[in-house]
Amino acid sequence: MKTRFIFNPHSGRHARNARLLPLLRDFIVRRGLDADLIATEGPGHATALARDAVNNGCERVVAVGGDGTMNEVAQALLYTPAALGLIPCGSGNGLALHLGLPLTPLDALELVTAAGSRVAAVDTGSVNGMPFFNAMGFGLDAEVSRRFNHLTKRGLPAYARTAFAAFAQRKSELCTIRTAGHQEKIEAMLIAVANSDQYGNRAFIAPGARVDDGQLDLIAIRPVGLFGAAVLGAHLFLGSIDRSPKIRRLRGAKFVIERAAPGLVHTDGETHPTSARVEVLVHPRSLRVVLPATSRAIAFSDDLSPAGFALQLP
């Protein structure tokens, strides 16, 4: 089974990644795998490497990194026969956690290289043509992502500090949301659209969301003060954010959101400037993913929907 491992040396905790690279090389040699291992050199490189892997007949392309690395690799695999494997070593690992993937490197390696592993086709999303696989958003969470991506030290404590600093300078904006004949206006400090149920670190922004239902979940958070933010944070990690009166949740296959001005959006934690009009679409069964046989996250079908959609690559 021809495989390519794409390793991001800058994902998550750098000290751990320094130990991971020799482990990957040793695993490939000891198992006699028909595989190569290439480290990324900068933004967009993982997509180019994954596209080359598909063109060269790789059956599995494995992203070794966090959600940003996963996003870059998966872009090149949409509507192709190649299956995405994940060795999660980022700060959040939202999609990996949702899918029930192993978080320890050796267990994850065993899964993605096993010929008998299950492969399933999952839904993906796009925002103004830019693909996402776990979640996208704008407002406060895009600002948190922008600040977090500039840090040299990652992890949940660093993310919490960054979120608190961004919250102290928070702004809200009046947005118009349209979906399936429904329209409403809402004052929000954050709007997220989720494919899976969580951001990562088991912070459940969309409890009960699935990646196999042909739907996306939009969560708008109305403005809150410091105490309200603490309550929302507790709900987030308890999986009960829907209980808050500050939350508006909608489900659909397409959302059009009009905001006051152009600004940032994030896709799986990576930020991009885009227009005031934000169009978010679901693309059912557009990506094949390697999963544990015991995963309950999706129904097992590896059939892809008819291709495709045009990507606006960042």
pLDDT digits (tens, 9 = 90+) for 131-147: 999 999 998 888 777 77
pLDDT digits (tens, 9 = 90+) for 210-244: 999 999 999 999 998 888 888 988 999 999 999 99
Mean pLDDT of 83-107: 91
Phi and psi at 22, nearest 5°, equal: -65, -30
Please tell me whether residues 163 and 67 are part of one structural domain.
no
Does 262 map to a domain?
Answer: yes
Please tell me whether residues 47 and 166 are part of one structural domain.
no
Please tell me whether residues 205 and 171 are part of one structural domain.
yes
Instruction: Give the lowest-confidence range in 113-117, 246-250, 282-286.
Output: 113-117
Mean pLDDT of 197-214: 92
Task: Tell me the Ramachandran region of residue 190: left when phi exceeds 0, alpha when psi lies from -120 to 50, beta otherwise.
Answer: beta
Does 172 map to a domain?
Answer: yes
Please tell me whether residues 136 and 278 are part of one structural domain.
yes
Does 307 map to a domain?
Answer: no
Mean pLDDT of 25-37: 95
Does 314 map to a domain?
Answer: no
Please tell me whether residues 164 and 105 are part of one structural domain.
no
Q: What is the CATH number of the domain that holds 43?
A: 3.40.50.10330
Please tell me whether residues 200 and 253 are part of one structural domain.
yes
Please tell me whether residues 111 and 153 are part of one structural domain.
no
Please tell me whether residues 151 and 49 are part of one structural domain.
no
Please tell me whether residues 151 and 223 are part of one structural domain.
yes
pLDDT at 283 over 90: yes
pTM: 0.90
Q: Residue 312: its pLDDT value, please? A: 59
Q: Residue 314: its pLDDT value, please? A: 46
Does 308 map to a domain?
Answer: no
pLDDT digits (tens, 9 = 90+) for 41-90: 988 999 999 999 999 999 999 999 989 999 999 999 999 999 999 999 87
Q: What is the CATH number of the domain that holds 253?
A: 2.60.200.40
Does 147 map to a domain?
Answer: yes
Does 13 map to a domain?
Answer: yes
Mean pLDDT of 6-24: 77
Q: Residue 117: its pLDDT value, please? A: 85
Please tell me whether residues 240 and 270 are part of one structural domain.
yes
Note down the domain range covering 28: 3-123+284-291
State the total domains in the chain: 2
Please tell me whether residues 79 and 34 are part of one structural domain.
yes
Q: Residue 171: its pLDDT value, please? A: 82
Please tell me whether residues 140 and 111 are part of one structural domain.
no
Does 300 map to a domain?
Answer: no
Query: Nearest-CA neighbor of 241 among 271, 203, 200, 298?
Result: 203
Token readout for 108 is 């994850």
